[in-house]
Amino acid sequence: MADVTPAESPASWGALGAVGPQGLPSGFQELEAQAVAVRSYVMSTYGSLQGWFGYADICDSTACQEYPGIANENATTDTATTDTVTMAVLLPGGAVATTQYSSSTGGYSAGGTFAAVPDSGDAVCVPGACNTHHTWQAQVPVAAIQSAYPQIGALISVGVSQRNGLGDLGGRVVQMTVQGSAGSVNVSGDTFASQFAPYGVQSDWFAVTSQPSGGVGGYWMVATDGGVFAFGDAGFHGSLGGVHLAQPIVGMAGTPDGGGYWMDASDGGVFAFGDAGFHGSTGGIRLNKPVVGMARTPDGGGYWLVASDGGVFAFGDAGFHGSLGAIRLAQPVVGMASTPDGGGYWLVAADGGVFSFGDAGFAGSLPGLAVHGPAVALVPTPTGGGYVVFTGNGLAVDFGDAPQFSDVADVVSGYSGHIVGGATTPG
């Protein structure tokens, strides 16, 4: 106990807080609680304080507590240990509880022997430092995932399919699917976290925020009547399929965490579902031309609507950076996209003309190129240094730092339909 306690809780905590009736700071109580937890965990695992080898057990998993050796002993934590020498946590019936613990819960304890509960102190900062385990990021290489699951072939996507419902993001990952070109595997969030801990994955509480393989975890499709179809790990949060609409739905956008989405109608009506917030609409305004699309801000706190005459309407924290409403256009606007930081946007017209506003950089457009077929969408690169313009007959024309997927004269062969939109993957 004397060696483990200061390794799990800094001895300096014993000097924090006001001095209590016993003449000791209130922070000392935390060290006493740590000593009791250490003692109870060992006793519940081995039946005594001796362990398998008669003194201390060392392993590289949560089955063992941190044990840096006797050099780590401290007089303050020694006192906390001796003061509680007769104490352990007991379950109803008298058995010693397995008191697993961690330095950080992420904001909600994992549960187990004891019920999962919120932990409001997990994100608390002290001068000069914050808990680096409360919010974290990790980058797992595609090659590492393919090596761990060789049966899937080339990685296509990593998607979360089930969470425990407790806390942010919907809680800890219970189940996830790793999809590849040759098959897929279903794994628990705990297993995934353990496998890729060397790459910085700290726990089973995470969200997959990028797909460097070029795949996606899921997506939605929306019909003109507001019907929504969810695929992969995209959640269904509601639809307008049974609602009589004044005008048809022309587009949608998902929230940053995928927990909701917006739909916009041609009259500028906006419908919010899930964790998407409603920030306003043009549904009650007489428009010169119909709305043709929308784009959200990076944090999901606002959105823009664009009409076919290039008029732009900003709502929530979306900034207005200009429009084409007073300019006579050769062809109508068909879509828009925002820059990565939300400080600007691009509008694209049916003839492939691109118009940049705010911090959106102009990298080129279709007029003047040997491209046939109307433009239907513009999708920026993750850096904002370029974009891809998609055409109705299947061309993907790259500008700026967008990778060249094919020659501008190549068309989707054998396809007789009309392309109406496009999107790029994060990688």
CA atoms within 13 A on the CB side of 319: 14
For residue range 119-136, list pLDDT tens digits in order: 887 887 777 778 888 888
> Using alpha carbons only, how large is the chain's radius of gyration in Å?
28
Contact 270, 305 (CB under 8 A): yes
Residue 88 β-bridge partners: none
- State the Cα–Cα distance between residues 24 and 37, nearest whole angstrom: 20
Look-up of token digits 């992420």: 106
Least confident of 163-172, 267-276, 408-417: 408-417
Where residue 427 falls among pLDDT bands split at 50, 70, 90?
A: very low
Over 60: is that where the pLDDT of 410 sits? no
Least confident of 72-81, 123-132, 165-174, 379-388: 123-132
Over 70: is that where the pLDDT of 233 sits? no
E-strand ranges in 23-101 read none
- pLDDT score, position 372: 67
Domains of the chain, CATH where assigned: 4-83 (no CATH), 142-199 (no CATH), 218-400 (2.130.10.10)
Chain length of the chain? 427
Least confident of 1-5, 195-199, 240-244, 414-418: 414-418
| End-to-end Cα distance, the chain | 49
Over 50: is that where the pLDDT of 14 sits? yes
Percent of the chain clearing pLDDT 90 (strictly above): 26
- State the Cα–Cα distance between residues 427 and 424, nearest whole angstrom: 8
Q: What is the mean pLDDT of residues 7-12?
A: 83
Nearest to 253 by CA among 144, 147, 336, 340: 336
- pLDDT score, position 9: 83
Where residue 408 falls among pLDDT bands split at 50, 70, 90?
A: very low
Over 60: is that where the pLDDT of 421 sits? no
Over 60: is that where the pLDDT of 238 sits? yes
Over 70: is that where the pLDDT of 413 sits? no
- State the Cα–Cα distance between residues 250 and 335, nearest whole angstrom: 10
Residue 264 β-bridge partners: 251, 270
- State the Cα–Cα distance between residues 106 and 171, nearest whole angstrom: 10
For residue range 327-382, list pLDDT tens digits in order: 888 899 998 999 988 999 999 999 989 999 999 999 999 887 766 678 888 888 77
pTM of the model: 0.50
For residue range 285-319, list pLDDT tens digits in order: 888 999 998 999 988 899 999 999 999 999 999 99
Where residue 267 falls among pLDDT bands split at 50, 70, 90?
A: very high
Over 80: is that where the pLDDT of 164 sits? yes
* Mean pLDDT score across all residues of the chain: 81
Angle subtended at Cα 51 by Cα 45 and Cα 57, rounded to the nearest 5 degrees:
100
Largest CA distance in the chain: 86
Higher pLDDT, 389 or 102: 389
Contact 262, 276 (CB under 8 A): yes
- State the Cα–Cα distance between residues 224 and 249, nearest whole angstrom: 5
- pLDDT score, position 406: 43
Nearest to 380 by CA among 322, 257, 295, 263: 295
Residue 269 β-bridge partners: none
Nearest to 350 by CA among 402, 296, 287, 308: 308
Percent of the chain clearing pLDDT 70 (strictly above): 84
Contact 331, 349 (CB under 8 A): yes
For residue range 33-64, list pLDDT tens digits in order: 889 988 888 887 766 555 555 555 666 666 66
